[in-house]
A and B are shown apart, each in its own frame.
Chain A
Amino acid sequence: MTSDRRFPVRLDLKKGAVDMSHGSGGRAMAQLIGELFQRYLDHELLTLGNDQALFMPPPGRMVMSIDGHVISPLFFPGGDIGSLAVHGTINDVAMSGARPLYLAAGFILEEGFPLGDLARIVESMAQAANAAGVPVVTGDTKVVERGKGDGVFITTTGIGVVPEGILISGDRAEPGDVILVSGSMGDHGVAILSKRENLGFETEIRSDSSALHELVAAMIAAVPDIHCLRDPTRGGLATTLNELAHQSGVGMQIREDAIPVRPEVAAACELLGLDPLYVANEGKLIAICPPDKAERLLDAMRAHPLGTESAIIGEVVEDPHRFVQMETDFGGSRIVDWLAGEQLPRIC
């Protein structure tokens, strides 16, 4: 990029750190935006330098979603907070069946945060947005004093447009419907835990963080009448199924032996006393559709690179209690409840 005469000394991305002036609205902030954010996120609407992005609304129904990202550690196997902020919001938009169009990103930076780390995060964000074909077109930066943030928080907003004839909503599950998942459960949460101080264990597991909108497009092309889609992020499969059951006023019956879980994830969960059904995912979805469309939907999911391990895991049933119940691997049965509190590693 061309040098800007306002800033004779370039930002020091090797040793420099965020300070309060970077959020002041003055020259230092302009330099941070110009030399760091716009360097990577170089969409024409963003580099124009306005406080908003101007575009023509496409025909059809639009959806909008917002997602705040706070994560420790910021960098983890399979991604970082930057790629996660893009994927998470694209997925929230896509779970309506929508084609995501644009993203907006708000950064809250803590005084003292290394500029080099920030550059890595923004570059990763740009790569994720480019790969997904969903650009970041407007943004915002604020700086808080040291001790009042945790390095960096990113809030992303996404908008998208829903194809005609598609009506996907969490309240549409009906008794008899079939429940599918797009792959193995718990990869993201275990990848994060493996890097937490104290817990340090060694595993090859990487976060499944990825943008699911193309998988969704392939799914609705095959089966337009999908009733529900949702990505089982925090709280994992168990909590998300409970949300859907509650929203639709139905029960669910799932089979433990049908739920894909990687052996490494199962082993790490044994070690920490966690249940993989409650561990977070960032690149998987749950789909609910009428029984006669389930096989076609499964085939479409498996044909997509992000859905090769898709599986049918159970059915929607009538139940005034709105319970999610599971037939265990062992041949017994039990309730799969909402996550209570936080999933903490336990000794007993």
Chain B
Amino acid sequence: MKYIDEFRDKGLARRLAETIAAEAHPGRDYRLMEFCGGHTHAIFRYGVQHLMPPNLSFIHGPGCPVCVLPMARIDHAIALATQHDVTLCTYGDLMRVPASERKSLLKAKADGADIRMIYSTQDVLRIARENPDRQVVFFAIGFETTTPPTAVAVKTARAEGLTNFSVFCNHVLTPSALQTILSTAGPDGVQLDGILGPSHVSTLIGSRPYRFVAEQFGVPVVIAGFEPLDVMQSALMLVRQLNDGRCEVENQYTRAVSEEGNRKAQALIDEVFRIRPEFEWRGLGFLPNSALALDDAYADLDAEERFPVEFAPAKEIKGCECPAILRGVKTPTDCKLFGNPCTPDNPMGSCMVSSEGACAAYWSYGRFRAASLQPKVESRS
């Protein structure tokens, strides 16, 4: 497959690994935060960490929209589906995320709620058209990448006069999460030397919004693609910035990311959404200007307005370290629940649910690796 297979080439990977090992100064650490779960997934699935020198480590960031969704929003969605008997549509990723009292959308569905998994917002529109007597609510999640498709659905529903379609909006914005992590970095927060910046988010918003990371916080950024060679090349670009004492926003993913991004999609977002004054992120707390709601002009399509619900405030599970893991302060193995009782089959926290969550990635791909495998790259002179 073009643009996929080339970026998974084993020979190039081996040679890049040798270069990184040769250029990384043995006397210092390179702690690189990969913001996105997509990077986390690639690092584990392809065994990239394995190809890195021991003093280069990846810190898993909060860039998984499923993982950062607070439990209260899932509770809210379940309340919506059960208290108003609506058809609730959402992406497959959300189905197993734990809500309060060990509930989830999947369990609510088993209990009789009409919850459907969809692949595209076009499917939600189709369900609404085919069921004019049912209220159809789209449980929207995702970063800037997944937001424009919601905007298209909202505009289409308005244009068609679909009165039984509405959106429970949970779209969040990446730059404010980065801002939060960086402002708490240091002795008490996460210690990081560089950032692998979001790739698919950046195809929409461009590379410009990350300038503040380099300028305000003095941390270099490389916008990095999601294929394993992209991740490795970006790591090397960060190593070089750090070795040279540079601090810039570089773009490795030039085949899809420009400085200004996708203007048409940005205009759609501006038209359909407004910025929420604050929104809760799991692990990061209430962050100002960090999420979107439907703009006043589309308030009639806002499910939160249309279907008021009552539910008890969510209690986080005792001992669950997802919040600290999402901030990059702890690793999954620091959590007492990791592996017992929290596993992908019995997830206690959101990081164990999404295949991009740090805990699930550790569990599925990385556990006990050190005990039973020898590193493949030994050329660390």
Check whether chain A touches chain B (CB < 8 angstroms): yes
Interface residues of A (CB under 8 A from B): 198-199, 251, 263, 266-267, 270, 272-273, 319, 321, 323, 325, 328-335, 337-338, 340-341, 344-348
Most chain B beta carbons < 10 A, residue from A273, A329, A348: A348
Whether the Cβ atoms of B372 and A346 lie closer than 8 Å is no
- B142 contacts A199, C-beta separation under 8 Å: no
- Asked whether B376 is an interface residue with its Cβ less than 8 Å from the other chain, the reply is yes
Residue in A340, A345, A347 whose CB lies within 8 Å of B142? A347
Residues A337 and B363 in contact, CB atoms below 8 Å apart: yes
Known interface pairs A345-B119, A347-B91. Does A328 touch B66 (Cβ–Cβ under 8 Å)? no
Given contacts A340-B344, A344-B117, A347-B92, contact A332 B51 (CB under 8 A): yes
Q: Across the interface, do B373 and A325 meet the contact criterion of CB distance under 8 Å?
A: yes
User: In the complex, A265→B107 CA distance in Å?
Assistant: 31
Most central of A266, A270, A347 by chain B CB within 10 Å: A347
Asked if B355 is an interface residue, CB under 8 A from chain A, the answer is yes
- Determine the residue in chain A with the shortest Cβ distance to B49: A332
Interchain nearest-CB distance for B56 vs A (Å): 14
Other-chain residue from B355, B360, B369, B376 in contact with A331 (beta carbon distance below 8 A): B376
Judging by beta carbons under 8 Å apart, are B65 and A348 in contact?
yes
Q: List the 8 shortest-distance A-B pairs measured between CB atoms, nearest first.
A: A332-B47, A340-B344, A344-B92, A330-B46, A334-B365, A332-B50, A337-B364, A331-B10
Binding site of A, secondary structure by majority: helix, strand, loop or mixed? loop
Given contacts A332-B46, A335-B364, contact A198 B123 (CB under 8 A): yes
Knowing A198-B123, A334-B47 touch, does A346 contact B368 (C-beta < 8 A)? no
Q: Would B38 and A333 count as touching, CB distance under 8 A?
A: no
Complex contact B1–A267 (CB within 8 A) = yes
Taking a contact as CB atoms under 8 Å apart, the answer to whether B92 and A345 are in contact is: yes
For A345, the chain B residues whose CB sits under 8 A away are: 92, 117, 119
A-B contact sample (15 more), CB < 8 A, given A331-B13, A332-B50, A347-B146: A270-B1, A328-B45, A330-B10, A330-B46, A331-B10, A331-B14, A331-B51, A332-B48, A334-B365, A335-B368, A337-B344, A345-B119, A346-B355, A348-B37, A348-B146
CB distance from A253 to the nearest CB of B (A): 9
Interface status of B345 (Cβ within 8 A of chain A): yes
Q: Does B4 interact with chain A (Cβ within 8 Å)?
A: yes
A272 to B119, CA, bound (A): 9
B363: A residues at CB distance < 8 A: 337
B356 at the interface (CB under 8 A from A): yes
Neighbouring A residues of B47 by C-beta, 8 Å:
328, 330-334
Q: Which residue of A lies closest to B65 (CB)?
A: A348
Chain B positions within 8 Å of A331 at CB level? 10, 13-14, 47, 51, 376
B367 and A348 within 8 A (CB): no
Count residues of chain B with CB under 8 A from any CB of chain A.
Answer: 50
CA distance A267 to B142 in the complex (A): 24
Asked if B266 is at the interface of the complex by the 8 Å CB criterion, the answer is no
Tell me the complex Cα distance, A199–B116, Å.
13
Given A273, A334, A348, which contacts B44 in the complex, CB threshold below 8 Å?
A: A334
Task: Give Cα distance in the complex from A341 to B45, angstroms.
Answer: 18
Q: How far is the CB of B38 from chain A (nearest CB, A)?
A: 7
Interface pair A325/B372, CB less than 8 Å apart: yes
CB distance from A320 to the nearest CB of B (A): 9
Q: Are B10 and A329 in contact (CB under 8 A)?
A: yes
Asked if B93 CB lies within 8 Å of chain A CBs, one says yes
Q: A330-B47, A348-B66 are in contact. Are A266 and B228 (CB under 8 A)?
A: no
Tell me the B75-89 residues at the A interface (CB within 8 Å). Answer: none
Q: Give every chain A residue within 8 A of B119 (Cβ-Cβ).
A: 198-199, 272, 345
B8 within 8 A of A: yes
**B228 contact set on A, CB distance < 8 A:** 330, 332
Determine if B96 is an interface residue (Cβ-Cβ < 8 Å). yes
Residue interface mask B363-381, A partner, CB < 8 A = 1? 1111111011100100000
With A198-B118, A199-B119, A331-B13 as given contacts, are A348 and B46 in contact (CB-CB < 8 Å)? no
B239 within 8 A of A: no
Closest CB-CB distance, A201 to chain B, in whole Å? 9
Chain A residues in 8 Å Cβ range of B1: 263, 266-267, 270
Q: Is B32 an interface residue (CB 8 A)?
A: no
Bound form: Cα–Cα A267–B5 in Å: 11
Name the residue of chain A whose CB is nearest to the CB of B355.
A346
Q: Which of chain B's residues has its CB closest to A326's CB? A: B47
B223 at the interface (CB under 8 A from A): no
Q: Mark B302-346, 1 if CB is under 8 A from A, else 0.
A: 000000000000000000000000000000000000000001110
Cα(A341)–Cα(B192), bound, Å: 34
CB–CB B93/A333 < 8 A: no
* CB<8 Å pairs between A and B, sample of 14: A328-B45, A330-B10, A330-B46, A331-B10, A331-B13, A331-B376, A334-B366, A337-B344, A337-B363, A337-B364, A340-B344, A344-B92, A346-B93, A346-B354
